[in-house]
Amino acid sequence: MSWMILGTAPYEDFPLVESACRLQNGALIIDGHKIGVARGTPALLATACLAAEVMGIEGPQTLLVGDIGDGKGSAKLYSRLLDKIADDLPEVLVFHYLQPDLNYSLKISMGLEELPRKPLLVADAGYMYVAKMSGLANVYDLFTPDIGELAFLADEKAPHPFYTRGFLLQDEAEAPELVKKAYKHQNAARYLLVKGRKDLVADETGIIDEISEPCVENMEPVGGTGDSLTGLVSSLIASGFTIDKAASVAARANRYMGFLANPTPAFSIAECLKFLPEALERVVDNK
């Protein structure tokens, strides 16, 4: 399937680019620009490139722009996407670190919903926040929250995870209840892949898979390990896996990557990604 990753790079002056991307000596090459892989959308893109190679599929297209939190870059990207909706969109769209902007999100969600063949829609990070806020979460096919973000999806009043009520009272044991609440208030996508000590795959019927092995405690502090999981699940969907199967396999592969990397809490995602091809091959062979 054709697929596109939409997100931001942490540079103020990085222009809006629409291009294929590739990894070269640990750096991303996009439309002639070289980007380091530390966390955020570059980490997702690096994972996607590596996983595409393992799966033998074409790598992702990307719509990428610089944004350091003022939303200016994100606004350019949203505007470009609105223009593209009328064109031929890829079959899978992956939304990532973007400034939550309710006005744009409403237009995009409604525009996508009106298409005769809506692409498969994956949302994580800032775009997932605003997709929930818009009340149109159910237009999307997969959200990839961590347990705190699941509490945000479950809280029908919270406009951002920063304002989630009872946030730290929601431990992982309460995940099934939070999943139920998120679906009850229509604040969840068709599927959820919840990242945590135990990764969970859920839909409106509840938890449909739990992945807890191998458990690598030191993965939690490493920035970018959630981005790698989103990159993995997106590449598996683009390879033709069903969303629920892709979520389960991706969660296992991300854990195996951690197991093989054996990180300290000071590791970078770039150090972990060296082990991703082996981890993904191992999990896909055993699926």
Partner 1 sequence: MMSLLRKFYHGLRGIADPSGNVTKSGVCDRGIILFDHTSDVIKAEEILKAAGVDVCVKGPPPEVRTGCDMAVEFPLVCELQVNQLLEQNRIKPIRILPLQDLLLQPVSLFNTKDYGDYLMVRAANMKITVDKSDLRIVNISGGGCPDVPYLADRLVGRTLFEAPEPRSMGKTLCGYALQLAYEELKKQCHG
Residue ranges in 13-32 that form contacts with partner 1 under rule CB under 8 A:
none
Q: Which of 3, 78, 129, 143 binds partner 1 (CB under 8 A)?
A: 129
Q: Tell me the two tokens of residue 25.
A: 């000596």
Q: Of residues 191-230, which lie at the interface with partner 1 (CB under 8 A)? A: 217-218, 220-226
Q: How far apart (Å, rounded) are the C-alpha atoms in residues 175 and 141?
A: 19
- The reply on whether position 277 binds partner 1 by CB under 8 A is no
124 binds partner 1 (CB under 8 A): yes
CB of 13 to partner 1, least distance (A): 12
Of 86 and 168, CB closest to partner 1: 168
Q: Which stretch binds partner 1 (CB under 8 A): 33-41, 231-239, 245-253, 271-279?
A: 33-41
Residues 238-267 that bind partner 1 (CB under 8 A): 264-267
Shortest distance in whole angstroms from residue 82 CB to partner 1: 15
Residue with tokens 């680019």: 17
Question: Least separation, in Å, of the C-beta of 130 and partner 1?
Answer: 8
Residues from 139 through 198 that contact partner 1 (CB under 8 A): 146, 148-149, 152, 156-165, 167-168, 185-187
> Closer CB to partner 1, residue 67 or residue 141?
67
Binding flags for partner 1, 76-115, as an x/- string (CB under 8 A): ---------------------xxxxxxx--x---x--xx-
Query: At its nearest, how many Å lie between partner 1 and the CB of residue 239?
Result: 26
- What number of chain residues touch partner 1 (CB under 8 A)? 73
CA distance 193 to 129: 15
Residue 42 makes contact with partner 1 by CB under 8 A: yes
| Of 221, 229, 230, 220, residue with least CA distance to 253 | 229
Which of residues 1 and 102 has its CB atom nearest to partner 1 in the complex?
Answer: 102
Among 60, 73, 231, 258, binds partner 1 (CB under 8 A): 73
Biggest distance spanned by C-alpha atoms of the chain: 48
Tokens of 96: 């990532």
Among 48, 108, 120, 132, binds partner 1 (CB under 8 A): 132
Residue 197's contacts (CB-CB under 8 Å, 6 or more residues apart) are 172, 212, 215
SS (HEC) of 130-199: HHHHCCCHHHCCEECCEHHHHHHHHCCCCCCHHHCCCHHHCCHHHHHHHHHHHHHCCCCCCEEEEECCCE
CB 265 within 8 A of CB 218: yes
Q: Residue 17 in contact with residue 62, Cβ under 8 Å? A: yes
Amino acid at 55: M
